Amino acid sequence: MECCCRILTSSIGKKVQVALAGLFLCVFLISHLAGNLLLWGGPELFNHYAEALEANLLLPVAEIGLVVLFALHILVALRVRWENKQARPVGYQVSEWAGGRTIGSATMMWTGLAVLAFLIVHLKTMRFVDHGTEGLYKHVMGQFANPGYAIFYLVAMVALGLHLSHGAQAAAKTLGVENPRITPVIQKGGVIFAIAVAGGFGAIAFWACWLAGGR
**Contact call for residue 159 and ligand HEM (CB under 6 A):** no
**Whether 81 contacts 22, CB under 8 Å:** no
Element (H, E) at 120: helix 108-122
Window of 89-97, 100-108, 115-123, 181-189 that interacts with ligand HEM by CB under 6 A = 115-123
3-state secondary structure of 130: coil
Window of 1-9, 12-20, 180-188, 201-209 that interacts with ligand HEM by CB under 6 A = 201-209
Q: Which of residues 95-114 bind ligand HEM (CB under 6 A)?
A: none
CA dihedral in degrees (169, 65, 48, 55; nearest 10)? 170
Name the residue nearer to ligand HEM (CB basis): 36 or 111: 36
User: How far is residue 185 from each of residues 97, 104, 122, 191, 192, measured CA to CA in Å?
Assistant: 23, 17, 33, 10, 10
**Contact call for residue 34 and ligand HEM (CB under 6 A):** no
CA dihedral in degrees (188, 119, 202, 112; nearest 10)? -30
Name the residue nearer to ligand HEM (CB basis): 66 or 78: 66
**Site track 171-200 with ligand HEM (rule: CB under 6 A), x = hit:** ------------------------------
Q: Which of 50, 186, 191, 209 binds ligand HEM (CB under 6 A)?
A: 50
**Contact call for residue 69 and ligand HEM (CB under 6 A):** no
CA-closest candidate to residue 62, choices 93, 84, 35: 35
For binding to ligand HEM (CB under 6 A), which residues are involved?
32, 36, 50, 53-54, 63, 66, 115, 119, 122-123, 126-127, 136, 140, 153, 160, 201, 204-205
